[in-house]
Amino acid sequence: MKNIHAKYGLTRVINARGTFTPLGVSRSSTRVRAAVADALAEHFVIDELQAAVSARIASHYGAETAAVVHWTAAAITVAVAAAMAGDAPERVAALPDSTDMPNRVVIPAGHVVDYGHPILTAIRLAGATPVIAGTGARCDIADLERALVEERTACLLLVSSRLARGAPLDLGAAVAAAHRQSVPAIIDGAAQDLRLPELLATRADLVLLSAQKYLAAPTAGLIVGRKPLVQACRAQERGIGRGMKASKEALVGVLAALEEREALDLPAWQAEQSRKVAWFVDQVRGVSGIAASSLPDSSGLPFSRVRLQIGPTHPLASAAALAVALRQGAPSIWVMDHAAADGYLLLELVSLRDDEMGEIISSLSSLSVPKFADRR
C-alpha cells in the first residue's frame, strides 16, 4: 500500500538509525512480502513450517537444528526456561516457578544490556535468577568459572553486539568454560545474523537471532543450535512460551527471507553499502559545520556507517540539537545519537533508498544555514 502513511495519518519516517524496533526494524523485499501475504490466506501444519525453517538453517549454516519464536526477547526467556526444565512435562508446566530446578543463569556484567528492556527481565521472566560475573569494565574467564561452579546453574548467557560494554570477551573461551561445568551456553546475537557462522563456531549450544533485523523477515526470534535444547525450547509452547510463539506468516516470511539470504551475493551487497556511504560522505562536503567520515561496524558486521561530526560553527551548535531538529522535520529523520555527547551522530544507510539519502542531505543542508537558526 503506497499511501499507508497518508491513509492512516502516520508520520513519514526516514530511518537512518539501524534495525530499531520503535521504527519498525527493517524493510522486507517484495518476495518476502508476497510470501507473507500468501501465508495469511492459508492453513498449515505449523510443525511442518517449523521443520522447514529448521532444515533450511541446518543445510545452509551447518547448524544442528533451529526453532522460531516471536522475538529474540522471547527466545532468551524460552531458552533459559529450556535449560532449566528440559522437556519434562511437569517442569514445563511448573515454570515460572523454578523451585527444585537448576535456576541460576550466569551472565558477564558487560553483557547486562538494555535493548528496550533489561535483558535481566527476559531471564527472570522464565523464573530464573541472574548471576552477574565480573564487572562492567571486565569479566575474565576466571570470573565466569567462579560464577559457574556454584550449584543450581542452568546456563551461561552471552551477548554479542555493539550494546555490550567493557573489555571484549573471547566467546569461544567462555563457551568452553561453561562446557567444562556441563552448563549449556547461549549467545544472544540478535542483530548478528550476518555473523551466524562465527557465532556457531564458538560451539555455543544455542545462538539467538532476530529475523526482522538484517535478514529483513517478518518479526521472529530464531533459536539455532543443539537438538535436545531446541526441542526443549519448542516444549515451552505448552508452558510459559505460549504467548511467545511464531505466527504462520512469520514462519513463511522467515523461509522466504532465508531463501533470499542463501542467494545473496555478499561481496556485491557490501560494495553497494560502500557506494552509499561514500556518496553520502561526499555530499556532506558541501554542508558547512559538519564533517563526515565512514565508520566500520565495531562488532564485525560487514558494513560501515556514516559518522557526522558537528563542529562549533554549526548553527545548532550540538549533535544532540541536530538530531532533534532532524527528527522534528517532515519527513522525520532518525539517526543514531548515542554518541551525541561526544559531538557526533551515526547514520546507518543499509535500508535506505537513494532518494531518501538525498532527502537527508537536503535537511542537513537547510539546518546548517545560519539564518535557519536565527529564525527559530
Report if residue 73 touches ligand PLP, rule: CB under 6 A.
yes
Strands 65-69 and 221-225: antiparallel
Nearer to ligand PLP, 69 or 287 (CB): 69
Strands (E), the chain: 13-16, 65-69, 104-108, 129-133, 153-159, 185-188, 206-210, 221-225, 290-296, 304-310, 332-335, 344-347
Residue recorded with cell 538494555: 114
Contact (Cβ atoms closer than 8 angstroms) between residue 99 and residue 124:
no
Among 159, 224, 252, 347, binds ligand PLP (CB under 6 A): 159
Identify the three-state secondary structure at position 144. Answer: helix
Pairwise CA distance, residues 121 & 113, whole Å: 10
Name beta bridge partners: 332. Answer: 13
Pairwise CA distance, residues 24 & 19, whole Å: 8
Contact (Cβ atoms closer than 8 angstroms) between residue 206 and residue 79:
yes
Dihedrals φ, ψ of 76, to 5°? -65, -50
Q: How far is the CB of 136 from ligand PLP (least distance, A)?
A: 16
Q: How far is the CB of 64 from ligand PLP (least distance, A)?
A: 22
Q: How far is the CB of 186 from ligand PLP (least distance, A)?
A: 12
Q: How far is the CB of 160 from ligand PLP (least distance, A)?
A: 8
Q: How far is the CB of 27 from ligand PLP (least distance, A)?
A: 16
Instruction: Report the candidate in 70, 69, 171, 73 with the shortest Cα–Cα distance to residue 118.
Output: 73
Instruction: Report the candidate in 297, 250, 336 with the shortest Cα–Cα distance to residue 75.
Output: 250
Output the nine-digit C-alpha cell for 239: 508452558
Q: How far is the CB of 113 from ligand PLP (least distance, A)?
A: 6
Report if residue 121 touches ligand PLP, rule: CB under 6 A.
no
Site for ligand PLP in 198-217 (CB under 6 A): 210
Among 65, 72, 304, 368, binds ligand PLP (CB under 6 A): 72
The window from 34-42, 43-51, 65-73, 318-326 that contacts ligand PLP (CB under 6 A) reads 65-73
Report if residue 230 touches ligand PLP, rule: CB under 6 A.
no
- Per-position x/- string for 243-282, each x denoting binding to ligand PLP as judged by CB under 6 A, each - no binding: ----------------------------------------
Report if residue 188 touches ligand PLP, rule: CB under 6 A.
yes
Report if residue 221 touches ligand PLP, rule: CB under 6 A.
yes
Amino acid identity at 47? D
Among 92, 106, 157, 163, binds ligand PLP (CB under 6 A): 163
The window from 159-167, 171-179, 285-293, 352-360 that contacts ligand PLP (CB under 6 A) reads 159-167
Report if residue 115 touches ligand PLP, rule: CB under 6 A.
yes
Site for ligand PLP in 341-360 (CB under 6 A): none
Pairwise CA distance, residues 256 & 28, whole Å: 10
Dihedrals φ, ψ of 293, to 5°? -150, 175
Report if residue 233 touches ligand PLP, rule: CB under 6 A.
no
Amino acid identity at 323? A
Would you tell me how many other CB atoms lie within 10 Å of the CB of residue 367?
21
What does the binding site for ligand PLP look like in residue numbers (CB under 6 A)? Answer: 21, 71-73, 113, 115, 159, 161, 163, 188, 190-191, 210, 221
